[in-house]
Chain A
Amino acid sequence: MTALPATSEAGGARVPMGASLKPLLRLVVPAVFLVGAYAFMGPEQFVNALTRGAIYALIALGYTMVYGIIELINFAHGDMFMMGAFVSLTFLGQILGLTGSITDIARLAPLLVAAFFVSMIVMGAIGVTIERLAYKPLRGAPRLAPLITAIGVSFILQNIVMLKYGPFQTNSPKIFPSFDIVIGSAKIPALSVFIIVVALSMMVALQLFISRTRLGRAMRSTAADRDAAQLMGVNINRTIAITFLIGAALAGAAGVVNGLQYGVSRFDDGFQAGLKAFTAAVLGGIGNTVGAALGGFIIGFIEVGATVMGFSRWGPAIVFGVLVIVLVFRPSGLLGQQLGERA
């Protein structure tokens, strides 16, 4: 008889303690993870993981935003990334005729800005057009129909690029000079730093846009309750178009970054990258923009970590293995839903 109140007391004490530990854990777990990864990989591979993660994160944002607002897994999104890379290499290599690196910062800076600008605008326009022609007519249809359509759009995009550029790799001008920033004994490529800074600032800008502005609020309210949002005066079609525009523009930016980093592109690049970015979005909690960014970086670390351990060919298998494990314990992903509130 006396044991009963004792256990309930202990149980009662555990609950508030757990609650107060939670925010602390949120800081400690990533910190331990980062420090551990740094110690394990060394600075060069650490930055390499961040760079890869940044590219995945930029693509994953498009998946998660579109899912959050119309609950469509846009399988063509990976190919938007691939097309972004081709827009960039066409602009830099074929229209401007550049081939090698440019060391003059006064010439490099405007060229980089122009490359991002062109790729993001063109991809944004293509994204909106695809939404209008392929997805909007199916908005009231069962969910499977737009999903299959997305796969179809993916094939169309791949084949358009293959027709134009052929089935082999096309060179993308690596205009960013390859010099290293030396910190102590570590040599970190300046390009990686540039990529990480660009990607992070885009993510911060997106987050501010979603949380602070009129159109961002329209997006969140549409994701939460489309009919109620419309009855509050939000133009649903326009809001969905803007979502596709931003998602596709981010994929375009990721394409530019990919071209600068790897220097080659092929028509089917979007498939693998898209699959991993989609995994990142699911890992972070699809519908949640912060989660997508987080998931992208986690996948970057897993891949590079596998390479460091000598399992580079096992990279994808480990990535998907981690996804399965996370989904078993947290079916809604690491951060759950935030953009919308429906499961």
Chain B
Amino acid sequence: MSGNPMDNEPILVADSVTRRFGGLVAVNSVDFTIPEGSIVSLIGPNGAGKTTFFNVLLGVIDPTAGSVVFRGRRMIARPERIGFESLIWVLPAVLVGLLAALLAEAGIVSGRLLALLGFITLLILIGSLLLGIIRPVWYSKGLERIGIFRSARPNDMVTAGVGRTFQNIRLFHNMTAIENVLVGMHTQLHGNLLEAFLQTPRVKAEEKAAEQRADELLTLVGLRGKGNEAARNLPYGDQRRLEIARALAAEPKLLLLDEPAAGMNPKETLDLVALISRLRNDLGLTILLIEHDMKVVMGISDRVTVLDHGEKIAEGTPDQVRKDPRVIEAYLGAPAA
């Protein structure tokens, strides 16, 4: 890696993100950028708004104000005129139906022709609803052009290239390790319903390649040969690793790790730190870390950002942050007079 990763172009820019829950301001106009190829950390005492901020970045909750730009695309902001979308689904059918009713009233059409018009109305309704479910690119683009902005959902963020792990492990416990990774690969595979039932050669080849890739990922995180074990039977440390493998399966550019070292013993923590560095150095991933374990944060971060009461109170290299009096105060309380 040449030079300081902090000088790279930003992969994600959060611009004055605010989120209120009723009267409570959980996150208060936080600016945050992540340079490509860096490892940045977000820390703060309990209730500082870390998780809320994280959830906004992922599209789990919409921000009250502000926006998030990921890889040059404005993904997340307060939704605009979202109610009009359902109008678009029913309006064409209603118009055609009204037209048919008017024509029938005027005595221009009747009998079979009228039945045909009714049938066409139904087809239009079903068609536009299907369009809303399938959401082809031109449909979303068209919506944006007429001023309807639908903030990205978590699955849209995954498609765009953001992967995540959970603070409390949330594997699919009844599925095997390899199946968990294959679910993570969902956005990378393309087999549709028809192909799945016909078992076309393309789908078969895709499934086979996917299983191979899943094996590679399991090996990368150190779970080689455990692919067929049910996720719930894996030891705790392995479950954490499996979460990382599952997140990597979506081929993310940016990986968000939510307290990956929580509940780990010192040995497991050391392995984890080595794994995170390897993800950055070997796979070129950008990593955002939320972590309580200061040894992990201070050891591998290029930059540390500190949140307290929803506001950014410090940002800088680990050394700068460690000495910052406001950070010490946030964590330990005000010094005795």
Contacts from A to B (Cβ < 8 Å): 125-126, 128-129, 132-133, 205, 209, 212-218, 220-221, 224-225, 227-238, 241-242, 245, 338, 341
Among B153, B155, B179, B182, max chain A CB count under 10 A is at B155
Interface stretch of the complex, out of B126-134, B268-276, B282-290: B126-134
Interface stretch of the complex, out of B4-12, B62-70, B143-151, B158-166: B158-166
- Given A128-B129, A128-B133, the answer on whether A234 and B186 have CB atoms closer than 8 Å is yes
CB distance from A279 to the nearest CB of B (A): 25
Q: Are B174 and A231 in contact (CB under 8 A)?
A: no
Q: Which single residue of chain B is at the shortest CB-CB distance from A214?
A: B189
- Given A214-B189, A218-B183, A230-B155, the answer on whether A241 and B175 have CB atoms closer than 8 Å is no
Q: Are B60 and A129 in contact (CB under 8 A)?
A: no
Q: Are B155 and A233 in contact (CB under 8 A)?
A: yes
Q: Which single residue of chain A is at the shortest CB-CB distance from B125?
A: A129
Q: Are A213 and B196 in contact (CB under 8 A)?
A: yes
Q: Are B158 and A237 in contact (CB under 8 A)?
A: no
CA distance A341 to B193 in the complex (A): 24
CA distance A220 to B154 in the complex (A): 18
CA distance A230 to B170 in the complex (A): 12
Q: Are B158 and A217 in contact (CB under 8 A)?
A: no
* Interface residue B297 (Cβ < 8 Å from any Cβ of A): no
CB distance from B269 to the nearest CB of A (A): 24
* Interface residue B173 (Cβ < 8 Å from any Cβ of A): yes
Q: Are B132 and A231 in contact (CB under 8 A)?
A: no
User: Which A residues touch B172, using CB under 8 A?
Assistant: 220-221, 224-225, 228-229
Q: Pick the contact of A232 from B153, B193, B250 — CB < 8 Å?
A: B250
Of all A-B residue pairs in the complex, the 8 with the closest CB atoms, nearest first, are A233-B158, A233-B187, A228-B170, A213-B196, A221-B183, A214-B189, A224-B172, A230-B154
CA distance A245 to B192 in the complex (A): 13
Q: Are A213 and B203 in contact (CB under 8 A)?
A: yes
CA distance A15 to B59 in the complex (A): 49
User: Which A residues touch B186, using CB under 8 A?
Assistant: 214, 217-218, 232-234
CB distance from A291 to the nearest CB of B (A): 15
CB distance from A319 to the nearest CB of B (A): 30
* Interface residue B302 (Cβ < 8 Å from any Cβ of A): no
Q: Could you show 9 A-B contacts with beta carbons less than 8 Å apart?
A: A209-B196, A217-B179, A218-B186, A228-B172, A230-B154, A232-B250, A233-B155, A235-B155, A341-B173
* Interface residue B58 (Cβ < 8 Å from any Cβ of A): yes
CB distance from A216 to the nearest CB of B (A): 7
CB distance from A340 to the nearest CB of B (A): 9
- Given A125-B126, A230-B155, A234-B155, the answer on whether A224 and B196 have CB atoms closer than 8 Å is no
User: Which B residues touch A242, using CB under 8 A?
Assistant: 193
Q: Are B60 and A231 in contact (CB under 8 A)?
A: yes
Q: Are A238 and B134 in contact (CB under 8 A)?
A: yes
Annotate B198-222 by CB proximity to A: 1 below 8 A, 0 otherwise: 0000010001001000000000000
User: Which A residues touch B37, using CB under 8 A?
Assistant: none
Q: Are B173 and A232 in contact (CB under 8 A)?
A: no
User: Which A residues touch B153, using CB under 8 A?
Assistant: 230, 235
Q: Are B155 and A214 in contact (CB under 8 A)?
A: no
User: Which A residues touch B134, using CB under 8 A?
Assistant: 238
Q: Are A209 and B187 in contact (CB under 8 A)?
A: no
* Interface residue B197 (Cβ < 8 Å from any Cβ of A): yes
Q: Chain A at the B interface: mostly helix, strand, loop or mixed?
A: helix
Q: Are B170 and A225 in contact (CB under 8 A)?
A: yes
- Given A132-B132, A232-B246, the answer on whether A213 and B207 have CB atoms closer than 8 Å is yes
Q: Pick the contact of A224 from B173, B210, B246 — CB < 8 Å?
A: B173
Q: Chain B at the A interface: mostly helix, strand, loop or mixed?
A: helix
CB distance from A205 to the nearest CB of B (A): 6
Given A214-B185, A214-B207, A227-B170, 12 other A-B residues pairs in contact with their CB atoms under 8 A:
A133-B129, A214-B186, A216-B196, A217-B186, A229-B183, A230-B155, A232-B184, A232-B247, A233-B184, A233-B250, A238-B134, A242-B193
**Interface residue count on the B side (C-beta < 8 Å):** 42
Q: Are B158 and A232 in contact (CB under 8 A)?
A: yes
User: Which B residues touch A224, using CB under 8 A?
Assistant: 172-175
* Interface residue B237 (Cβ < 8 Å from any Cβ of A): no
CA distance A216 to B192 in the complex (A): 11
CA distance A138 to B191 in the complex (A): 30
Q: Are B183 and A132 in contact (CB under 8 A)?
A: no
Q: Which single residue of chain B is at the shortest CB-CB distance from A240?
A: B133
Q: Pick the contact of A132 from B58, B129, B166, B203 — CB < 8 Å?
A: B129
CA distance A231 to B175 in the complex (A): 17
CA distance A228 to B173 in the complex (A): 12
Q: Which single residue of chain A is at the shortest CB-CB distance from B190?
A: A214
CA distance A171 to B183 in the complex (A): 47
CA distance A145 to B179 in the complex (A): 34
User: Which B residues touch A132, using CB under 8 A?
Assistant: 89, 129, 132-133
Q: Are B196 and A234 in contact (CB under 8 A)?
A: no
CB distance from A253 to the nearest CB of B (A): 13
User: Which A residues touch B210, using CB under 8 A?
Assistant: 214
Q: Which single residue of chain B is at the shortest CB-CB distance from A340?
A: B174
CA distance A215 to B194 in the complex (A): 11
Q: Which single residue of chain A is at the shortest CB-CB distance from B134?
A: A238
Q: Are B58 and A231 in contact (CB under 8 A)?
A: yes
User: Which B residues touch A231, using CB under 8 A?
Assistant: 58, 60, 154-155, 158, 164, 166
Q: Pick the contact of A236 from B130, B132, B155, B191 — CB < 8 Å?
A: B155
Q: Are B175 and A220 in contact (CB under 8 A)?
A: yes
Q: Which single residue of chain A is at the shortest CB-CB distance from B203?
A: A213
CB distance from A50 to the nearest CB of B (A): 24
Q: Pick the contact of B193 from A215, A233, A235 — CB < 8 Å?
A: A215
Q: Are A209 and B191 in contact (CB under 8 A)?
A: no
CA distance A209 to B199 in the complex (A): 9
CB distance from B159 to the nearest CB of A (A): 6
User: Which B residues touch A227, using CB under 8 A?
Assistant: 60, 154, 170
CB distance from A286 to the nearest CB of B (A): 16
CA distance A126 to B166 in the complex (A): 38
User: Which A residues touch B189, using CB under 8 A?
Assistant: 214
CA distance A35 to B203 in the complex (A): 41
CB distance from B115 to the nearest CB of A (A): 10
CA distance A237 to B164 in the complex (A): 21
CA distance A85 to B316 in the complex (A): 69
